[in-house]
Amino acid sequence: MTDIPSALTTTPARAPRQQRSQASFERMMAAAEELLRERGNDDFTLQEVGKRRKVSIGSIYCRFDSKDDLIRAVQARVLEAVNAEQLDSIAKAEAEANGLRQLVKLLVNGTAEALRRHAELMRPMMLRSTSDPIVAATGKRSYAEVSERVQNAMLAHRDEILQEDPDRAVRSVYHVMYAAIAGYLGFGSATTTAWEGDWDELKEDLGRMCAAFLLTAD
């Protein structure tokens, strides 16, 4: 897994301890998520966050030093949910698959659906990562965790992989798989081609191509 200093990925929120404070904290987070979804970027103020869910600006600053810290806290929560879903789908794929070909198709589908469910919040985070090193580092660590898990699942079928270097092959497969899905969902700075084509066809063809690569000799 990529070694990223933990100091760059620490959630900067001051967690509430009382029930009333927890409710206020959840409203802040919910308001920020709503604004990120609606606008597709982080072009909003903390005043708008407070107004959206009736939270005072003083309460917000009790939990966060800045809007940057609030957005990073939202990112941490989103990535935790995304990774949990992806890791669960990997475990199910391992349990259900009959051989490498079926495993790859299940892994592609599970990864794609987990990312799609959270795409509205992932997109603005991807955009922000180009200018915020903490958001970028947190995203890279999240990506590395799932990437390693997917590759290990494929390498459990090492005897079926016909490429000369199985480790390199599964690494390439995951990079291509993720890039194709991310491109369709509009992650990153180039969003003009987002949502082009048929989603189900993309998943099906991507699964077939990745499996075919692994099962084809050099």
- Identify the CATH number of the domain in which residue 100 sits: 1.10.357.10
Q: What is the pLDDT of residues 103-153, one digit of tens each?
A: 999 999 999 999 999 999 999 999 999 999 999 999 999 999 999 999 999
Q: 131 and 100 in one domain?
A: yes
Place 192 in a pLDDT band, splitting at 50, 70 and 90: low
Q: Is-contact 57 47, C-beta < 8 A?
A: yes
Q: 13 and 105 in one domain?
A: no
The range of the structural domain enclosing residue 159 comes to 75-214
- Residue 1 counted as domain residue: no
| Final residue in a domain of this structure, among 67, 83, 100 | 67
Q: Provide the pLDDT for residue 2.
A: 39
Q: 115 and 23 in one domain?
A: no
pLDDT at 191 over 60: no
Q: Provide the pLDDT for residue 218.
A: 77
| Range 200-205, long-range pairs (CB < 8 A, 24+ positions) | 202/112, 203/108, 203/109, 203/112, 204/105
Q: 103 and 21 in one domain?
A: no
Q: 34 and 119 in one domain?
A: no
Name the pTM for this structure: 0.85
- Identify the CATH number of the domain in which residue 13 sits: 1.10.10.60
Q: Provide the pLDDT for residue 78.
A: 96
Q: 160 and 197 in one domain?
A: yes
Number of domains in the chain: 2
pLDDT at 15 over 90: no
Q: 122 and 36 in one domain?
A: no
Q: What is the pLDDT of residues 21-75, one digit of tens each?
A: 788 899 999 999 999 999 999 999 999 999 999 999 999 999 999 999 999 999 9
Amino acid at 63: R
Q: What is the pLDDT of residues 139-190, one digit of tens each?
A: 999 999 999 999 999 999 999 999 999 999 999 999 999 999 999 999 976 5
Q: Provide the pLDDT for residue 32.
A: 96
Helices (H), the chain: 19-39, 46-53, 57-63, 67-96, 100-117, 119-128, 133-155, 166-185, 199-214
State the number of CA atoms in the 13 A half-sphere of 156 facing the CB. Answer: 18
Q: Rounded to an integer, what distance in angstroms lies between the CA atom of residue 54 and that of residue 59?
A: 10
- Residue 101 counted as domain residue: yes
